[in-house]
């Protein structure tokens, strides 16, 4: 895998969001009055538009095919959600022709919140979930503004304090349910099964800390065949639409060398959720480099991480050095494993990383990633398989 090209952003970028058709949304200068939303074309290899934002962004999410009407094949204008730190505001933006974001509405939640989205069969369109870090609770909302039932998450488990909610991931699970993964300051993980139509919580499964550090990022991928993009947004993070196994990765903070990327498998066993650790990865063995990660993203066959030490690391399933349980069966273990990769191309911390399907623009069938760093660069990595 090699660095294909770099794109210079106005300032450091903590969030990247693929929006289709070779375009990315990048939040840059994330602090104070200089915060901006940049539209990047991978085809043109440059920033095409930059728009000012209202302040520091806490979360960035996308709803495919929402627009102003129902979620239909004809209506594919992406609807973007931006949540702002300290103000409690969530801004809805329509991205017309991948070139002009139009503000639709501002929703005031009175407090900080993460944003994620998922499909609701009963509403026949997406809804979004807002999670408040301080009180570890989340509320589900219709994208048209109707408030839904608020659901609180316990602040402790088995006598251990979990601390603040630090990360969130929404995953589809079959035709009826939605899974919500919640990462906490203590390193605890909670996976909840939610009825996608009624928003009723069916089940909660707690996973004790694999590393006693805050979980800064969660990502998931369906462990099955296909292109790995069942949600159709071009970032390769499709989930368990058929109720099959889901690979869930957690990226941990950490000042000391240790296992900072943990891979888990979420399956159904006798009607109940089961979350088991199947791989542990060390992002740095050096006593000098800071080993924590800002972001992890699952892809078909592995996990990629954005490291504090300026490295992008690609871990392929079956290559962990701590657990021999593996993700696949004995026959798969006998096959030659791909070697993990360390990609060097940023000065300073890597803030985010996303997959670009098919290896990216003009690279044929392969894998490709775009990473952003404190150095204000977008790096485009690609490998033709």
Q: What is the chain's length?
A: 385
DSSP single-letter state for residue 154: P
The span from the CA of 308 to the CA of 14, in Å, is 12
Residue-level pLDDT at 237: 52
Q: How many CB atoms lie within 10 A of CB 256?
A: 11
Task: Give per-residue pLDDT as tens, 255-288.
Answer: 666 778 999 999 888 888 888 888 888 776 655 5
Look over the chain and give the mean of its residue pLDDT values, rounded to a whole number.
75
The span from the CA of 299 to the CA of 367, in Å, is 9
C-alpha neighbours within 13 Å on the C-beta side of residue 206: 16
CB under 8 Å to 353, separation ≥6 — which residues? 16, 295, 297, 304, 305, 306, 312, 369, 370, 371, 372
Residue-level pLDDT at 186: 87
CB under 8 Å to 55, separation ≥6 — which residues? 32, 33, 35, 84, 85, 86, 87
Secondary structure element (H or E) that encloses residue 356, with its range: strand 350-356
**Beta-strand pair 302-307/341-344:** unpaired
Task: Give per-residue pLDDT as tens, 107-136.
Answer: 776 666 777 777 666 666 667 777 777 767
Higher pLDDT, 226 or 29: 29
Residue-level pLDDT at 153: 61
Residue-level pLDDT at 145: 53
Secondary structure element (H or E) that encloses residue 333, with its range: helix 330-334
How far, in Å, are 136, 199, 302 from residue 150 at the CA level? 11, 10, 35
Burial 70-98 (b: 16+ CB within 10 A, else e): ebeeeeebbbbbbbbbebbbbbbbbbeeb
Among 24, 121, 13, 107, residue whose Cα is nearest residue 368: 24
Among 117, 214, 119, 215, residue whose Cα is nearest residue 170: 117
User: Is residue 146 over pLDDT 90?
Assistant: no
Which span out of 62-71, 81-90, 205-214, 304-313 was modeled with the highest average pLDDT? 304-313
The span from the CA of 85 to the CA of 12, in Å, is 17
The span from the CA of 33 to the CA of 14, in Å, is 16
Residue-level pLDDT at 324: 38
Provide the residue ranges of all domains of the chain, joining segments of one domain with +.
156-308+311-344
The span from the CA of 372 to the CA of 351, in Å, is 6
| Overall average pLDDT of the 218-241 stretch | 55
CB 170, CB 116: distance < 8 Å: yes
Q: How many CB atoms lie within 10 A of CB 383?
A: 16
Residue-level pLDDT at 334: 47
Task: Give per-residue pLDDT as tens, 230-263.
Answer: 344 444 455 555 567 899 999 998 766 677 899 9
Q: What SS3 string covers 225-237?
A: CCCCCCCCCCCCC
User: Is residue 297 over pLDDT 90?
Assistant: yes
């Amino acid at each position: 895998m090699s660095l294909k090209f770099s794109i210079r952003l106005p300032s450091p970028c903590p969030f990247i969001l693929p929006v289709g058709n070779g375009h990315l949304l990048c939040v840059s200068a994330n602090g104070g009055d200089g915060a901006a939303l940049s539209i990047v074309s991978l085809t043109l290899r440059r920033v095409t538009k930059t728009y000012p934002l209202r302040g520091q962004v806490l979360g960035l999410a996308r709803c495919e095919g929402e627009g102003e009407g129902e979620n239909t094949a004809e209506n594919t204008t992406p609807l973007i959600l931006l949540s702002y730190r300290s103000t409690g505001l969530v801004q809805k933006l329509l991205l017309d022709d991948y070139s002009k974001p139009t503000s639709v509405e501002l929703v005031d939640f009175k407090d900080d919140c993460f944003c994620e989205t998922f499909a609701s069969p009963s509403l026949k369109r997406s809804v979004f979930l807002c999670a408040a870090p301080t009180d570890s609770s989340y509320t589900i909302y219709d994208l048209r503004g109707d408030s839904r039932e608020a659901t609180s998450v316990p602040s402790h488990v088995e006598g251990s304090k979990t601390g603040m909610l630090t990360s969130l991931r929404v995953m589809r699970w079959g035709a009826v349910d939605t899974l919500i993964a919640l990462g906490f300051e203590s390193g605890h993980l909670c996976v909840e099964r939610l009825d996608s139509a009624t928003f009723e919580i069916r089940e909660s499964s707690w996973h004790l800390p694999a590393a006693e550090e805050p979980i800064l990022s969660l990502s998931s991928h369906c462990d099955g065949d296909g292109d790995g993009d069942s949600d159709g947004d071009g970032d390769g993070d499709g989930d368990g639409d058929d109720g099959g196994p889901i690979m869930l990765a957690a990226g941990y903070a950490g000042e000391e060398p240790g296992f900072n990327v943990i891979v888990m498998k979420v399956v159904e066993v006798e009607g109940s959720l089961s979350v088991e650790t199947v791989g542990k990865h060390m992002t740095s063995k050096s006593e000098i480099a800071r080993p924590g990660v800002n972001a992890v993203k699952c892809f078909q066959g592995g996990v990629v991480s954005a490291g504090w030490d300026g490295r992008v690391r690609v871990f392929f399933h079956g290559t962990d050095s701590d657990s021999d349980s593996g993700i696949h069966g004995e026959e798969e273990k006998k096959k030659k494993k791909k070697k993990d990769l360390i990609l060097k191309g940023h000065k300073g911390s890597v803030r985010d990383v996303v997959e670009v399907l098919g290896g990216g623009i003009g690279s044929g069938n392969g894998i490709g990633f775009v990473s952003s760093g404190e150095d204000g660069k977008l790096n485009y990595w690609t490998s033709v398989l």
